[in-house]
Structure 1
Amino acid sequence: MNGTMRLARVHGPGDVRLDQVDLPRPGPGEILVRVGACGICGSDLSYIAQGGLGGVEPLNAPLPIGHEFAGTVAAIGPDVSGIDIGTRVAVNPDHGFIGGGGPDGAMAPFIRVSGAVVGETLFPLPDHVSFDAAALAEPLSVGLHALKIMQVQPQDKVAILGAGPIGLCTVAMLRHLGVRDIAIFDRVESRLERARALGATLACNVDRESMTDALSRAHGHGERFGSLYVGTDVFIDAAGAPAALTEAIGIAPYRARIAIVALHKKHCPIDLWRMMANEIHMSGSIAVDRAAEFGEALTMIANGQQDLNSLISHHFDFGDFHEALSVAADADRSAKVMLTFEKEAA
């Protein structure tokens, strides 16, 4: 295929453009995917705001973005087997760091996918699974990866800090794992309503009741070394708010588990004495090397056993890219915002 296309790339802090670039061509071990849908992630918004992956070093070249996507195989390079042109696929972006530092991004009508291996990078879609539903496999697997790290069991009492898209996806994956005692905390009532629709048993607005009070009421409480603790087994930080994480560490019970999924943009003080005294287990979760979780999330989507409609709030054509970004950045208005590419020329 020859020609050009528009590709979303970050050029500096607050500077994201739809650049006209050559259509990519697949080389050995690569395929070309025509993108059907691509979700806007909080990390995409962070890359734009910071002007790069971490905002520390200036970019050496524009940074392509977009990593939550599904589409149709349009071309196949040498040394690729088990996949045909025309196959509808969801793509695990981990290989090649798609949209996260690598040379390719999915906020474009076409994307080159390296390491094209079925069951690792490529996941063929059943006919009944739409592209936008399939694109949810990426954020759903982010939540599932954190839950696997924390070894969450159905009987666990779980609290999620933040009801943005990853927090909401974590609710869905907790329900998938059989967990029924799920608390989630945010300041945006519309997002808490989505959490309730997805199966959260407690969705608390922290402007009305503190996390400590709500968890004491819902999960029980006690005292250890002269301090209050709650009966919550697992905390998932999907907010990236230092005050919320500090509060969670302060009330975590003996041998609680805490996963950090959020992108923290500020340093957060950690009470190491409390972590030691209560044997708290804390781990980061960046969701790489998660082909198994990606496939599990996609199977859950295909089975249709859970209503995931609450996860997607808006659809925008790629031509309305900047409006889509504006909506995605507005917590009061949006959950997951999806870009579609039907109007883009082949």
Structure 2
Amino acid sequence: MNGTMRLARVHGPGDVRLDEVDLPRPGPGEVLVRVGACGICGSDLSYIRQGGLGGIEPLKAPLPIGHEFAGTVAAIGTDVEGISTGMRVAVNPDHGYIGGGGPDGAMAPFIRVSGARIGETLFPLPDHVGFDRAALAEPLSVGLHALKLMQVQPQDRVAILGAGPIGLCAVAMLRHLGVRDVAIFDRVESRLERARALGATLACNVTHESMTDALSRNHGHGERFGSPTVGTDVFIDAAGAPAALTEAFGVAKYRARIAIVALYKKPCPIDLWRMMANEIHMCGSIAVDRAAEFGEALEMIAGGRQDLTPLISHHFDFGDFHEALSVAADAAHSAKVMLTFERQTA
């Protein structure tokens, strides 16, 4: 296949462009995927705002973005087994850091996928699963990865900080794991409504009631070394708000677990005495090397036992790229915004 296409790339802070580039060709171990749908992630918006992955050093080359996607295999390189053209697939972007520092990004009609292997990078899609739903496997597996790190069990009482797309995906995956006591906290009522629709048992607007009061009322409360605690077993930080994390840390009970999934822009102070005295287990979760979780999330999607409709708020054709970015940045009126490519050609 020859020709050119448009590819979304970050050139600097606030500067994202649809660049005209050569259509990629698959080499050994690679396939070319025609993109059917690609979700806009909070990290994409962060890369655009910062002008790169970390915003510390200037970009040496434009940064391709887009990593939540599914589509159809359009061409196959050499040394690829078990994959055929026309195969519908969801793609785990971990290999090659697709849309996250690597040379390829999925906000384009076509993308080259390296390390093309079934069950690791490429996951076949049943015909009844649309590309937009399949693209949810990536953010859902981000949430699932954190839950696996925390060894969440059905009987656990879980609190999620932030009802953005990853927080909402954590709700869905908690329900998938059989957890029935799920609390989530945010300041945006429309997000909380989506969380309730996905199965959260408590969706609290912290402008009306504090997280501590709500958790004390719903998960129970206690005391350790003269300080009040709540009965929450696991906290999932999907907000990236230092005040919220500090509050959760301040009331975490003995041997509570805390996973940091959010992107923090600056260092956040942590009370290490409390961490030691309460034996709090705290870890980060970036969701790489998560092929198993990706496959599990996709199986959940294909199974259709959970209504994931609340996760997707908008669909935009790739031609309306900049409008889609504006909507995705509006936390009060959007959840997952999907780019679709029906009208796009090479």
TM range (shorter): over 0.9
Provide the secondary structure at the position in 2 that maps to 1:152.
coil
Provide the secondary structure at the position in 2 that maps to 1:21.
strand
1:1-346 pair list within 5 angstroms = 1-346=1-346
1:316 offset after TM fit, Å? 0.2
Give, in whole Å, the separation in 1 of the partners of 2:210 and 2:195: 18
CA offsets 1:39-85 (integer angstroms, 9 cap, x no match): 00000000000000000011000000000000000000000010100
**What amino acid sits opposite 1:192 in the alignment?**
L
1:265 offset after TM fit, Å? 1.0
Provide the secondary structure at the position in 1 that maps to 2:266.
coil
Provide the secondary structure at the position in 2 that maps to 1:142.
helix
CA offsets 1:165-218 (integer angstroms, 9 cap, x no match): 000000000000000000000000000000000000000000000000000000
Give, in whole Å, the separation in 1 of the partners of 2:295 and 2:267: 34
Does structure 2 conserve the Cα–Cα contact (< 8 Å) formed by 1:90 and 1:125?
yes
CA offsets 1:82-101 (integer angstroms, 9 cap, x no match): 01000000000000000000
Structure 1: any 5+ residue segments left out of the alignment? none
CA offsets 1:2-40 (integer angstroms, 9 cap, x no match): 000000000000000000000000000000000000000
1:267 offset after TM fit, Å? 1.6
> Structure 1 residues 264-273 or 170-179, which shifts more?
264-273
> Structure 1 residues 128-137 or 265-274, which shifts more?
265-274
Give, in whole Å, the separation in 1 of the partners of 2:311 and 2:344: 25
**What amino acid sits opposite 2:125 in the alignment?**
L
Provide the secondary structure at the position in 1 that maps to 2:265.
coil
Provide the secondary structure at the position in 2 that maps to 1:296.
helix
Give, in whole Å, the separation in 2 of the partners of 1:131 and 1:205: 33
**What amino acid sits opposite 1:109 in the alignment?**
P
Q: Percent identity?
A: 88
Give, in whole Å, the separation in 2 of the partners of 1:321 and 1:127: 27
1:156 offset after TM fit, Å? 0.1
* TM-score, L = length of structure 2: 1.00
Does structure 2 conserve the Cα–Cα contact (< 8 Å) formed by 1:145 and 1:293?
yes
Number of corresponding residues: 346
Provide the secondary structure at the position in 1 that maps to 2:313.
strand
Provide the secondary structure at the position in 2 that maps to 1:246.
helix
Does structure 2 conserve the Cα–Cα contact (< 8 Å) formed by 1:242 and 1:266?
no
**What amino acid sits opposite 2:289 in the alignment?**
D
CA offsets 1:249-280 (integer angstroms, 9 cap, x no match): 00000000000000011221100000000000
Give, in whole Å, the separation in 2 of the partners of 1:244 and 1:22: 45
Give, in whole Å, the separation in 2 of the partners of 1:188 and 1:110: 35
Provide the secondary structure at the position in 1 that maps to 2:118.
coil
Does structure 2 conserve the Cα–Cα contact (< 8 Å) formed by 1:33 and 1:71?
yes
**What amino acid sits opposite 1:122 in the alignment?**
L
Structure 2: any 5+ residue segments left out of the alignment? none
Give, in whole Å, the separation in 2 of the partners of 1:184 and 1:206: 10
Does structure 2 conserve the Cα–Cα contact (< 8 Å) formed by 1:38 and 1:106?
yes
Give, in whole Å, the separation in 1 of the partners of 2:15 and 2:226: 51
Runs of 4+ in 1 over 6 A off after TM superposition: none
Give, in whole Å, the separation in 2 of the partners of 1:337 and 1:172: 17
Provide the secondary structure at the position in 2 that maps to 1:132.
helix
**What amino acid sits opposite 1:83 in the alignment?**
I
Considering only aligned residues, what root-mean-square deviation do their CA atoms show, in Å? 0.4
**What amino acid sits opposite 1:268 in the alignment?**
C
Does structure 2 conserve the Cα–Cα contact (< 8 Å) formed by 1:182 and 1:200?
yes
CA offsets 1:122-158 (integer angstroms, 9 cap, x no match): 0000000000000000000000000000000000000
Give, in whole Å, the separation in 1 of the partners of 2:211 and 2:95: 38
Give, in whole Å, the separation in 1 of the partners of 2:15 and 2:254: 46
Give, in whole Å, the separation in 1 of the partners of 2:54 and 2:218: 38
1:223 offset after TM fit, Å? 0.9
Provide the secondary structure at the position in 2 that maps to 1:85.
coil
